[in-house]
Chains A and B, each alone.
Chain A
Amino acid sequence: MGLLQGASELFPVSSLGHAVLVPSLLHWSFKQSDPSFVPFLVLLHLGTATALLVIYRDQWVAIIRGFFTAAFRGSMQNDNERLAMLLLVGTIPAAVLGVFLESRIKMLFASPYEAAGFLIVNGVLMLVFEALRRRAEGRVAAQAQSRTEQEEHFAQAERISFRAAAIVGACQALAFLPGISRSGVTIGGGLLAGLRHEEAARFSFLLATPVILGAGIVEVPQLFSKSVPIGEYLAAAVLAGVAAYASARFLLHYFRSGRLDPYGWYCIAAGVVSLALLRFSL
């Protein structure tokens, strides 16, 4: 589960959807309705967040410093200060929706059928994001010879507008639905906002870190208060972190020229196959 979550968290394929689906399909003994299931997933998310903090450690130091400097000065004077404020604006919508609608959303967690259905929706979304991006590329990058040249016509994360950052941030809340990928919708949102693929992925990963850490801080104490195998869970969290580190490195390289389409098709196929397996109890 640790490796699965860590690998699927940053790929635009919904880690939560996989965490709900795979145990059901493989008849693992995880009880998804168990109160410790969500805190366990959050512990795995903490492993992922740690991997992201390691990858972007220098950037986070600059962002945190930039946040306090800009907050006290009351203005932004460099890219790090702007990025800090963009991340604040982008984080708030998901945090508000997550906290106030959490109990209702959790009711959807237990059903693998819904996870499979949302996985298909996620795949369609990825294909739509890329179709819209191709249209934008047709307008601004028609003369470009290669994918790298096409990407150069689009912006870096620091240049995204505050309105777009808020919308991308709000999209994160969709990921509370199992099957909808947080990184998928935020990378897609970043693409629609005019970011390069690699920059959309970077913004997505930076945006994820405070939400995942925040969720972890409030949920982990619940995990320790129950009779759960903490040692095994922590080992799973470490594995999740290692897998997430490798995934993030791969994706940042992949998105220099790659697109979301393969992940979209994967999600549609995985959703359809999962629905069939669940329906016929294979």
Chain B
Amino acid sequence: MKSNSLAVGLGVLGVVFIILAVLYAIGALQLFTSGPGSHYKHAILLVVLAVASFVGANFARVKTV
């Protein structure tokens, strides 16, 4: 499914994941965690999700030759 709108959406989602990853890493976000402090496991996962979103965005964008 090729669509530049979808590509932009996935790109924005990737950026959101990066922001959430930073918030988990510095301990500012505690959602679904076992306790206070830095949550590197959550941060690493969100970085992976961001990478997947950016890859998805690259797949979704309409290529111009």
Q: Residues on A close to B: CB < 8 A? A: 70-72, 74-75, 85, 88, 92, 95-96, 99-103, 214, 218
Contact = CB atoms under 8 A, between A and B. Distances in A.
B3 to A, nearest CB: 13
Contacts of B61: 74
A150 B51 CA distance: 40
A214 B52 CA distance: 16
B40 A218 contact: yes
B45 interface: yes
Interface in B1-56: 32-34, 40-42, 44-45, 48-49, 52, 55
B44 to A, nearest CB: 7
Contacts of B49: 92, 96
Contacts of A85: 55
A214 B59 CA distance: 25
Q: Top 4 closest A-B pairs, CB basis? A: A74-B58, A103-B34, A100-B32, A218-B41
A75 B45 contact: no
B55 A71 contact: yes
A74 B59 contact: yes
A95 B48 contact: yes
Contacts of A96: 45, 49
B48 A92 contact: yes
Nearest to A89: B52
A74 B59 CA distance: 4
Given A103-B34, A218-B40, A88 B55 contact: yes
A75 B1 CA distance: 11
A93 to B, nearest CB: 11
Contacts of B41: 99, 102, 218
Contacts of B45: 95-96, 99
Contacts of B63: 74-75
A100 to B, nearest CB: 4
Contact of A99 (B42, B52, B55, B58): B42
